[in-house]
Structure 1
Amino acid sequence: MSTARDTLACDDAPDLSATTLVAAVLQAQKAILRQLDAVLSPLGLSFPRYEVLALVSAAPEGVVPMVRLWRTLDRHPTTIGSLVDRLEAAGLVTRATNRADRRETLVAITEKGRGTTSAAASAIDQVSMADADLMRRLSVDLRTLIACPTPEDAIGDRPPHSPLEHPDTKHTAS
């Protein structure tokens, strides 16, 4: 199986079209998810289950309404329900009706769930896709890209030598 590293040398200047960027991001997502699933699997988790577990664990008092999980993770209610079913079967979360509003279902973390969340976060922190400097630059660039409604908003917010910066674009401080 070839990887992006096999295909492109770090010094190559690939086509910077939107199509190329989208394809590269999606390929990177697949590679990252494969690595994350590999480190989470021994804990009985997939990355989507970890996302739910981490959100519940980070919530005040470790309790989250199901509707917040749907909205935050931008997933269909049935998908979230299935993920919560698996977490509940593993003893990582519990599900209960909100006493104050019986229309609402609450998901709560268990002690076993807190331990698993901590172990999973540690495992994820050990995943290394590239050298630390490249990972930092990519993180900044991706967060900038996500935060900006248009590409023009991002100009001047990227560090010099950003991989997302077109060679014809002059970096100017704002």
Structure 2
Amino acid sequence: MVSSPGPDRPARPDRPDPIREAHRQWVRHGWADAADAMAVVTSLVRVHQLLHERIDAVLRPLGLTFARYEVLRLLAFTTAGSLPMTRLGSLLQVHPTSVTSAVDRLERQGFVVRERQSADRRVVRAAITDTGRAVVEEATVGLNDSVFGELGLDPDETADLTRLLSTYRRHAGDRVEPGEDGV
């Protein structure tokens, strides 16, 4: 695996920026009207890769993926420590199959249990265990220290990027609450 530039690995100045080169090629081949957007999309995909490398470095030793971390974090945020499976999928904006898969794995790891709701036995809730609470707290400390707290952007840049991404999300059909397009 090739290490990416980051706080401990500076960029290689002897290598050209592949996204800038792709932009030049887009223009050269007659697609100038799409070149800037291509560079944005390609940059976002690359940033996604870079962030996932950092996230995985924190979560992998704990036996978690980011998807499973999100399930645990959401359950830990609730007062009851549990949510119906359908609500989990809705809040995480993922397909029910993805929630089932994540909860299956978390259950095998002892981080969650499934419970039937007494009022309606058809409703299955995922409930975080004490072990799950401990691992999600450890993971959150690690993510805050190594990823969220060290993003590499100053506070104004972070707020600007959040606003821009929220605008895109809103135009793509996501529900973005008033005031969410900034931090």
How far has the Cα of 1:137 moved from its partner? 3.9
Deviations 1:80-109 (A, max 9, x none): 111101111111111111112222110111
8 Å Cα contact 1:129/1:135 also seen in 2: no
Q: What is the correspondence of 1:149-168 to structure 2 with a 5 Å cutoff? A: 149=170
Quote the residue 1:136 is aligned against. 155
1:70 to 66, 81, 89: 89
How far has the Cα of 1:67 moved from its partner? 0.7
Q: Give the distance between the partners of 1:76 and 1:91, measured in 2 at CA.
A: 23
8 Å Cα contact 1:98/1:106 also seen in 2: yes
Quote the residue 1:105 is aligned against. 124
Pair 128,90 (structure 1): closer, same or farther in 2 beyond 3 Å: closer
Q: What is the correspondence of 1:1-174 to structure 2 with a 5 Å cutoff? A: 1=2, 3=4, 5-6=11-12, 7-8=16-17, 17-128=36-147, 134-148=153-167, 149=170
Quick one: which amino acid aligns to residue 51 of structure 1? E
How far has the Cα of 1:48 moved from its partner? 1.1
Name structure 1 gaps, 5 residues minimum.
Answer: 151-156, 159-174
Q: Give the TM-score normalised by the residue count of structure 2.
A: 0.69
How far has the Cα of 1:147 moved from its partner? 2.8
Deviations 1:133-162 (A, max 9, x none): 625344312321233235xxxxxx88xxxx
8 Å Cα contact 1:32/1:129 also seen in 2: no
- Aligned length, in residue pairs: 148
How far has the Cα of 1:65 moved from its partner? 1.0
Pair 143,132 (structure 1): closer, same or farther in 2 beyond 3 Å: closer
Once the two structures are aligned, what percentage of the paired residues are identical? 34
Name structure 2 gaps, 5 residues minimum.
Answer: 6-10, 24-34, 172-180
Residue 146 of structure 2: SS of its match in structure 1?
A: coil
Q: Give the distance between the partners of 2:155 and 2:131, measured in 1 at CA.
A: 32
| Structure 1 stretches of 4+ moved >4 Å | 128-133
Cα RMSD (Å): 2.8
